[in-house]
């Protein structure tokens, strides 16, 4: 089937463990539980209640700026900030689109690793889309990040910092009007369940009440996975009522083996059984992601099969999100035509499974699904993408940093060497 498109299929290996080289990111307040923070502050010879003050500034006021912490004596401030609030991420570039209501930031970590996050303002919510890994080892052939390979896991605090920055940007009106960050989706770079321990700790920091965390509701956090079945089952036992999103993209194993290569390890039936288990444990409806690709997975019979399968396996506990394929450089695949998309959606709905088309925020700044390819280095796409419409800069980057990136209208490139795994 896929060979009909004339594109040689991806034969990248699946990578579950990042190469172990380089330094782990420095320890940060957001890596630690509330108890660990108190212990760390005491170890530094400071009064333990300073841990609560630091946490209030960081998680409550969304600031990591030591100068703003005027309730802490200056000497203790410098000491504590130096030990517990190292700068983990530096914004290299920030661009916006959708009339300013979508913003993407390219971050540089302490070791030069690049990653991206996106924040989107809607009438009823503000959502941060965060990265859990630099790159991704899951090798999905239609995804720009997947084609770049895995560089390293992000530390808990590197994930949490993306959320803090998004929450501060939303609060400060950077998206058009001041808003409270209400949702977090792990749909940026990486496979969150392949960085399990750090992602779960990050979810706890995101959801724990201030000052332990940001106090965002668990059900407003979505963890998206290719279907790592053992990790899905473990997640269901964490006592976290987060929403699980499963990137299905095909209702039959033959096609899914190609579109989502990890399917060669865990088949659709196992993935849906694990999703059902999660729904049973949490009471949360599972979100099934389906990137609709012209002449690849958009046939009416596949819509019928998808609807039948999901209705049988998940009953009322599922919702399908159709994502119009966002073409990646070098791929000949494209989104399904709108009439085909409409028919697909209505057939899935007719099977009794709610199905809607995901809106496509961030397309013109390469911030839409699968386009976060800042660290794509292992297998650089061969064709240059079409020029995007000019994006409005929120902040001009220092010229020295930008000069390292090619093609920065649509895609960023980082240093070629992979580094070790994170904290």
Catalytic residue check, 116 = yes
Catalytic residue check, 369 = yes
Strands 392-395 and 355-357, sheet pairing? unpaired
Alpha-carbon span 212 to 33, nearest angstrom: 7
Among 113, 222, 224, 263, the residue binding ligand SAH under the rule CB under 6 A is 224
Among 187, 202, 221, 286, the residue binding ligand SAH under the rule CB under 6 A is 187
| Cβ neighbours, 10 Å, residue 111 | 18
| Cβ neighbours, 10 Å, residue 82 | 11
The answer to the question of residue 375 lying near ligand SAH (CB under 6 A) is: no
Q: Check residue 4 and report its DSSP letter.
A: G
The answer to the question of residue 228 lying near ligand SAH (CB under 6 A) is: no
Nearer to ligand SAH, 155 or 263 (CB): 263
Q: Which stretch binds ligand SAH (CB under 6 A): 134-142, 206-214, 265-273, 373-381?
A: 134-142
Q: Which of 116, 161, 258, 289 is catalytic?
A: 116
| Cβ neighbours, 10 Å, residue 412 | 23
Closest-CB residue for ligand SAH? 370
The answer to the question of residue 191 lying near ligand SAH (CB under 6 A) is: yes
* Residues paired with residue 247 on neighbouring β-strands, in sequence order: 289
> Min. distance of Cβ 183 from ligand SAH in angstroms?
14
> Min. distance of Cβ 326 from ligand SAH in angstroms?
4
Nearer to ligand SAH, 58 or 186 (CB): 186
Nearer to ligand SAH, 171 or 276 (CB): 276
The answer to the question of residue 113 lying near ligand SAH (CB under 6 A) is: no
* Apex 145 CA angle, 143 and 151, nearest 5: 150
The answer to the question of residue 328 lying near ligand SAH (CB under 6 A) is: yes
Q: How many residues bind ligand SAH (CB under 6 A)?
A: 18
Q: Considering only CA atoms, which of 198, 189, 151, 190 is closest in space to residue 420?
A: 151
What does the block give as tokens for 214? 């940001």
Among 51, 115, 139, 143, the residue binding ligand SAH under the rule CB under 6 A is 143
Among 243, 326, 377, 421, the residue binding ligand SAH under the rule CB under 6 A is 326
> How far apart, in Å, are the Cα atoms of 384 and each of 11, 154, 188?
21, 28, 22
Contacts of 214 (CB under 8 A, 6+ apart): 59, 163, 164, 167, 181, 205, 206, 207, 208
The answer to the question of residue 291 lying near ligand SAH (CB under 6 A) is: yes
Helix pair 156-171, 196-207: axis angle to 10 deg: 30
> Min. distance of Cβ 282 from ligand SAH in angstroms?
18
Among 10, 102, 156, 225, the residue binding ligand SAH under the rule CB under 6 A is 225
Q: Which stretch binds ligand SAH (CB under 6 A): 61-69, 94-102, 117-125, 136-144?
A: 136-144
Rg (C-alpha) for the chain, rounded Å, is 21
Among 142, 196, 266, 344, the residue binding ligand SAH under the rule CB under 6 A is 142
Alpha-carbon span 227 to 207, nearest angstrom: 23
The answer to the question of residue 369 lying near ligand SAH (CB under 6 A) is: yes
Q: Which stretch binds ligand SAH (CB under 6 A): 43-51, 64-72, 140-148, 310-318?
A: 140-148
Does residue 215 come out as left (phi exceeding 0), alpha (psi in the -120 to 50 range) or beta? left
Among 89, 226, 310, 318, the residue binding ligand SAH under the rule CB under 6 A is 226
**DSSP per residue over 315-380, as a string?**
TTSEEEEEEE--PPTT----BPPHHHHHHHHHHHHHTT--EEEPP-TTGGGT-STT---TT--SS-
**Contacting positions for ligand SAH (CB under 6 A):** 138, 140, 142-143, 187, 191, 224-226, 247, 289, 291, 323, 325-326, 328, 369-370
Residues labelled as active-site residues: 116, 369
């Amino acid at each position: 089937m896929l060979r009909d498109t004339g594109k040689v299929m991806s034969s990248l290996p699946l990578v579950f463990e990042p190469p172990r080289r380089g330094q782990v990111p420095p320890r940060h307040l957001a890596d630690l539980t509330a108890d660990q923070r108190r212990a760390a502050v005491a170890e530094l010879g400071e009064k333990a209640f300073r841990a609560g003050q630091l946490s209030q500034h960081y998680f409550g006021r969304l600031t990591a700026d030591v100068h703003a912490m005027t309730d802490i004596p200056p000497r203790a401030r410098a000491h504590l900030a130096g030990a517990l609030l190292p700068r983990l991420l530096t914004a290299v570039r920030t661009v916006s689109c959708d009339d300013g209501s979508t913003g993407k930031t390219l971050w540089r970590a302490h070791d030069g690793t690049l990653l991206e996050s996106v924040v989107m303002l809607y009438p009823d919510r503000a959502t941060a889309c965060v990265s859990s890994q630099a790159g991704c080892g899951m090798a999905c052939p239609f995804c720009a990040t997947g084609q770049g390979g895995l560089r390293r896991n992000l530390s808990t605090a590197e994930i949490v910092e993306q959320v803090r920055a998004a929450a501060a940007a939303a609060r400060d009106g950077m998206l058009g009007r001041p808003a409270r960050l209400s949702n977090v989706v792990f749909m940026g770079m990486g496979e969150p369940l392949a960085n399990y321990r750090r992602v779960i700790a990050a979810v706890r920091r995101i959801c724990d009440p201030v000052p332990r965390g940001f106090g965002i509701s668990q059900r407003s956090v979505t963890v998206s996975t290719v279907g790592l079945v053992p990790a899905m089952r473990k997640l269901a036992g964490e006592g976290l009522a987060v929403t699980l999103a499963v990137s299905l993209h095909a209702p039959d194993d033959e096609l899914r083996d190609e579109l989502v290569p990890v399917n060669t390890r865990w088949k659709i039936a196992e993935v849906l059984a694990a999703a059902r288990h999660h729904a049973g444990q949490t009471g949360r409806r599972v979100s099934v992601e389906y990137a609709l690709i012209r002449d690849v997975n958009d046939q009416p019979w596949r819509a019928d099969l998808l609807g039948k399968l999901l209705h049988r396996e998940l009953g009322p506990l599922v919702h399908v999100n159709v994502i119009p394929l966002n073409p990646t450089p070098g791929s000949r695949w494209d989104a399904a035509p709108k009439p085909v998309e409409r028919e697909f959606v209505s057939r899935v709905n007719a099977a009794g499974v709610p199905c809607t088309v995901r809106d496509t925020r961030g397309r013109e700044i390469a911030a839409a699904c699968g386009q976060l390819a800042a660290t794509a280095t292992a297998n650089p796409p061969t064709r240059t993408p079409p020029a995007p419409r000019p994006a409005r800069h929120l902040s001009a980057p220092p010229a020295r940093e930008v000069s390292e990136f090619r093609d920065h209208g649509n895609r960023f490139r980082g240093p070629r060497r992979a580094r070790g795994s994170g904290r």
